[in-house]
A and B are shown apart, each in its own frame.
Chain A
Amino acid sequence: MSRFLNFQTLILTGCILLVFYLAILPLFMLLYGSVRSAPPGDTGAFFTFKNYFEAYFDLDFYRLTLNSILFSLGSCFLTLLIGSYLAWVSERTNTPFKKMFVILALIPFIIPGILNTISWILLLNPRTGMVNVLLQELLNIRTGPFNIYSLSGMIWVESIHHYPLAFLLMSAAFRNMDTSMEEASLVAGAGNLKTFRHVTLPLVRPALFSVALLIFIQAIEAFEVPALLGIPAKISVFTSKIFLAVHQFPPNYGLASSYAVTLLVISMTGVFLYTRIARRGENYATVTGKNYRPRVIDLGRWKYVTATSAILIFFIAAVVPALVMLWTSFAPYYGIAFDQYFEKMTLDNYISVLKYPLVGIAFRNSFYLSLGAATLVMLLSSVIAWITIKSRIRGRQYLDYLAFSPIAIPGIVLGISLLWVYLTLPIPVYGTIWILLLAYLTKFMPYGMRASSSSMIQIHKELEEAAYASGGTWFQTFRKIILPLLVPGFVAGWIYVSIVSLRELSTSILLYSHDSMVLSVLTFDFFDAGRHTYAAALGVLMMLLLLTMAFAARLLGARIGIVNK
């Protein structure tokens, strides 16, 4: 009697519908919005292609496209260069300290993009940047030599923040490569350089290309750098243009939506190509067979050069931004001369910031959102991963694609899509913290899926079947067998999602209100309003929170891990 309406069916259908709701509805509403004549909620609105005409028949659009491509290509090139160099040094040479590189490379991950961007502005602002001021005094020149408000400045800030991804992925590519192929080339009489050009490079080319594509997508979706550097420098890209179209008065939602659709198409094409190439790349790596100990090149005295350069890069990427934030947060005012700094150091910024009522709200919201999003994303993705990996429900592979699809939605596009959804549908979440929770659920579902799927695959199916054969229902089995066995992957995914939720800016900035203020947006607002020292103090507090969370989660994860062993 209860064959069709049992708990299992209810949960499974519920989760499938939720994935549809989270991943598909926003895009549908974005398309709808891009052909509407007036903002959401306006009763006099009608269907029109005006927005697209307005967007595409404007010279600005082409300048914008060109800027976006130049910025993305530039970042892509520089990121890959740094990342691949470090990967090669750490995997293939006898450089000292290379075992620390992976840990060092993970540190910038704790620093939110907004803080990274702010600290580089504080360093390289043409007039007031600390480096420029210092060089002006030292070299006795009139103008600072560096200008962060330029395309090359934007590329630099973007690349120095994102190189760890390229480093980790390229390291894996170098590691998976069968070095006997290189050895065969050496035996055949080719030198190190020839071997690199004719054997190593062609072998890592698929990996190189797929990583390049991934970085390109990330750069074209980037928001912090285009907003804080591009807008003052009048170098507009898609993301900053969408932001401005919504934030101008009156906001032009239609135009923003037609830009968003264009950006979405670009990023979806990129992700589609990436998944195809990555799949082929994997085949490429696996056919090489057995894992040999990688051949290490003896660099001789050059190994000190590579070690120094590597550590310098880590220092610039992780330590410098943190120090700049710390320095500025204790300054009585922005632009204070170096020789007066230690005399006038003050805690005023912290005191003022903490007294600010919005800061309390932002801390509370960010904290709840981060925990809530991480927990819900991991629970949802565990169920979805069970469906796509363990069940035989028809069409399950499409559900996998669907749950993974938000990876192709740029943050700012998701923001504007959700505006359309909740300003049109009678669901009263607009202006509350709930719309942010829904946004984070959509945005981070793919990360949750990745963590859940990879640990779900490792659970032997007989462990689950034994529970059914013992008389367990589906829900009992899921709760008492599957979830506990998923714990290591669950915790890892949970940590990741809670950290990225706390850093999230590009989606939140379109969806927040006074009551649903979050830390990243508040930092942005402080900086935008010229209160650099407040932004720095808040940034330091935010980094402390992130560090504590990462540390606590690690301890917790380690403890659960031991129990599980």
Chain B
Amino acid sequence: MNDDNDDIVQIRSLEKYFGEGKNRVSVLDDVSLDIRKGSLFTFLGPSGCGKTTTLRCVAGLEKPEKGTIKIGGDVVFSSQDRINVPTNRRPIGMVFQSYAVWPHMTVFENVAFPLMVRHRPWQEIKKKVTEVLEIVGLQGLEERPAPKLSGGQQQRVAFARALVNEPRVMLLDEPLSNLDAKLRELMRFEIKALQRRLNITTIFVTHDQSEALAISDRIAVMSAGKIVEVGAPESLYSKPKTRFTATFLGQTNMSEGRVLASLTQTAQPTRIETKSGTLSFTPTTALKSNQKASISIRPEHIQIMAEKPDEPENVLEGTVKEVVFMGDSYHCQVAVGDWILLVKTQVFTGRGLGERVFLHLNPHFCTCFPADEKEFIE
């Protein structure tokens, strides 16, 4: 808790259970996070991993059993001090998965609600609602009844309603999951642009890894109620510290083996002995020599060549099993012994099936993690 000024949301050792007695299931297990002011922070994970529950705890819609939550330095929940500020007194705005636009109200009434319930003067309400509707691009639709809006418009109303009271944190619970694919991609950019423009701290919950990578400043990867890894999208993607992150964030090639001792006593080991030979990697997590481990590299980080390249290490020889043209790239399956690697490449020199090729697994992009990491895989 050293960066008190910059971390607008602080979550400490959150624990939550559902059910009682024998049926008790842990849904959050020691979740701690710091979210920087003005950043877009994403909770990413498969369904049931606890990402929505964590968000709802921040909102005060769920009550954790243990832990502390601070928003802007103020404690809003503390199991120890028995503090639980009700949702309506937390400085938040929230966009729900179903948008939750009230069907018995117009666009204006929906957006004005957060100001109405705080008894703001009419002039102010009118001005702020107009402003925020302009921000989300709904000007002119003030008097439209909510049920007569399209899905995209409803979502904009939900955003406007969440923004209108200038919350310290915006909470977005899978806001894009109900839109069709095209609109979803468009809204990604809009949300990102809006968040940057207003510089508003935003927590975004999603199970879609490409959405998370595209939109976030930082991502917390979650699984089975635990935080698996927190980091910026680029580093999580290319240098995952865990097998779970590596597989959940996209396709990857993995091979098991045994870590070789490092050359000096103090340095981290950087080589692994696999069935396909000795491979070098860039360490991201602590490994002991002789430990069972998996090396991992993304398909687009592998170079495929017809001739043996002039590289000192990580060159494998294999045969082309399958080539698929995907429009913007080729996806090739290359067999190196019984290890089938997926390679994505923009230029493919037209070598046919069964041809001999060479693969270069750039050590900079190779990561390695312990093989016995099972706790995150359900």
Which A residues are closer than 8 A to B by beta carbons? 460, 462-463, 465-473, 476, 480-481, 484-485, 487, 563-565
Contact = CB atoms under 8 A, between A and B. Distances in A.
Contacts of A476: 117
A468 B97 contact: no
B117 A473 contact: yes
Given A468-B61, A468-B86, A468-B87, A460 B98 contact: yes
Contact of A470 (B60, B86, B165): B165
B59 interface: yes
A481 B61 CA distance: 17
Given A468-B88, A469-B87, A472-B88, A462 B117 contact: no
A466 B89 CA distance: 13
A469 B89 CA distance: 8
A463 B102 contact: yes
Contact of A481 (B102, B158, B165): B102
Interface of B: 59-61, 86-89, 92-94, 96-98, 100, 102-104, 113-114, 117-118, 147, 158, 161-162, 165, 171
Nearest to B87: A468
A472 B86 contact: no
Contacts of B98: 460, 462
Given A465-B100, A466-B100, A468-B61, 14 more contacts: A460-B98, A465-B87, A466-B158, A467-B113, A469-B93, A469-B162, A470-B114, A470-B117, A473-B88, A480-B113, A481-B102, A484-B104, A564-B103, A565-B147
B172 to A, nearest CB: 11
Interface of chain A: mostly helix, strand, loop or mixed: helix
B96 A465 contact: yes
Contacts of B161: 466, 470
B133 to A, nearest CB: 16
A471 B114 CA distance: 6
B104 A471 contact: no
Contacts of A460: 98, 100
A463 B118 contact: no
**The 8 residue pairs across chains A and B that have the minimum distance between CB atoms:** A466-B100, A469-B94, A470-B114, A468-B87, A462-B100, A462-B96, A472-B117, A484-B104
Given A460-B98, A470-B165, A485 B104 contact: yes
A469 B104 CA distance: 18
A473 B113 CA distance: 12
B87 A462 contact: no
Nearest to A6: B86
A471 B60 CA distance: 12
Counting chain A CB atoms within 10 Å of each CB, the highest count among B98, B114, B117 belongs to: B117
A322 B88 CA distance: 56
Given A460-B98, A462-B96, A476-B117, A469 B103 contact: no
A470 B95 CA distance: 10
A260 to B, nearest CB: 41
Contacts of B86: 468
A466 B157 CA distance: 12
Contacts of A565: 147
